[in-house]
Chains A and B, each alone.
Chain A
Amino acid sequence: MNPSTPRLTRVAPEGSGPIRNPLLNARPRAGSGPGSPPDASLRGALECAVQTAYAVIDEYMQRGYEAARHSQDRQNGTGHMNSERPNYGNLFNPWGPMTPLMEQWSAAVRAWTDAWSAFLPGGRPGAWPSQAWTAAATGYAAGTPTPPVSVEVASLRPTEVTVQLKPGASLTDLVADSFVPPLLKGVSVQNKAGRIQVRVSVANEQPAGRYNGVIRAAGGSIVGDLTVVIAEPGKDAA
């Protein structure tokens, strides 16, 4: 070899990390059989399959919306849709957008109740039992507003009252009942000129604990729920 002849060299390829995402690096297996489709047609098949999947899920969800809307129409006796995404008024319908509103009212009522409790003998502001974490913002707008709610609590012990009302429900001839465990007495719910007034009077002999009840309107339909948490003397309502 002539030492004066420069050796041919190739520029070394730039170093790059391994491609970890197989979604970018997918290749068919070698030897996949005679007439194996080339990469281009496989990619076409992939895109077609994803489009099919989107069509399946979109149609599925549309059928769900339709079914829920029909269910809502049957409950209300109307065929009117409030919006493009129907306002599913069923309190327990997980498809509905009412939950953000319920949470807002629930939080507001807790704040009112805490303020009342502080002024009662032996009362101290209560705390929601176990929600020590802050929910991340979801960026979803609230739904249709419900009437304002006021809560009056008469109790010698810290008492927390939570009221949740179904948006859009007819709120006439309200009554709170069906408490579990049974509440001795002293809960009333009234609609006074568009303002919902809740009065809770806790008897001294009422055992401490959590009492879950429902709020009914005319005809007995459930339009909300009401929870009363009575603390032991000297403790928070938690």
Chain B
Amino acid sequence: MSNSGYVPNLPNKPLWLLAELTYACPLQCPYCSNPLEFAKYKNELSTDDWKRVLREARKMGAAQLGFSGGEPLVRQDLEELIAEARQLGFYTNLITSGLGMDEKRIKAFKDAGLDHIQVSFQASSEELNNLIAGTDAFQHKLEMARLVKKYGYEMVLCFVLHRQNMEQIGGVLDLAVNLEADYVELATTQYYGWAYHNREQLLPTREQLQRAEPIAHEYQERLKGKMRIFYVVPDYYEVRPKACMNGWGAVFLTIAPDGTALPCHAARQLPGMELPNVRQHSIEWIWNQSPDFNRFRGFEWMKEPCRSCPEKEKDFGGCRCQAYMLTGDAANADPVCDKSPHHHVITDFIDHVARIAAGKESAAKPILFRNPKNSKALIDAEAKKPETPLPA
């Protein structure tokens, strides 16, 4: 027994704190993982609320902090929050589109002790980038990427890949080389929130992935020691699920703009969640005691085929949100797994997408840009329904 009050069987520590400072964002990316009904959550935490959250999470052992959103730069108190976080000992990551940034702010972030800035691009060409972002952002992003480098940050670029920009993968990597990026994340779209709604238009085809993979590997090989390139295949094309969040309530803590604490940023949609809020509860209670954070901890909640699966300690049955969205029950195996009796939902969808891409079938829904107007329209449509069916 140490002298720090160690009690056996307490959950792990929340090493990762994702602070979603706001749902406001100047971009309208249809692959956004924010909730569709984001326009409903208006009551943002105050600066003092956030400072308390940072203090409490740090005391619980959180070491990595991501400032995210929406677009975190919209918050004018970002400099103040960075300074507070850095002083508490967090490693501070800013995850941004670059819009709302200028040289003065980058310098202020540096002075406040910001450790790392990740700038996202939507594509390598100005035209496609701006089309996906729903705004003329490309030139400003280039300028911000150069400033990030100038102020001595590691340059981390993030490109979210999907069917509309997959063909630009070589161009994307050339752009990263041009900007002298240290690290490139070719992030595959995660099909939650808006991305889930738009997945008919976003999921790449098998042929696209087969073309993209050798290109990514060729650049990885050629740029070894100069630029690290992270590339993964969308989980829809896998036969084993991802170890989502490294397990429910294991290392990851998201605080949404309205103060709701979540085991992952998509978990708000699951039925039966109590959604504890940092305005009413301490981080310690939320992490250790709340029903939400204990709901899928460990293995007791599992059904077959997960319960008796030798791989359950490796992937924890995959993603609870994906299990809910695609099978209707969050305690089912993630249907990405080919041991799941629902795996056909994934393969059927891949086939559907192949037919859409080949022009043989049309998408059931048009692509929907992520903006407050569309969000409100979805909220109104939901309110008019007599009951709440599963998301289509």
Q: Do chains A and B stick together as partners?
A: no
Interface residues of B (CB under 8 A from A): none
Interface residues of A (CB under 8 A from B): none
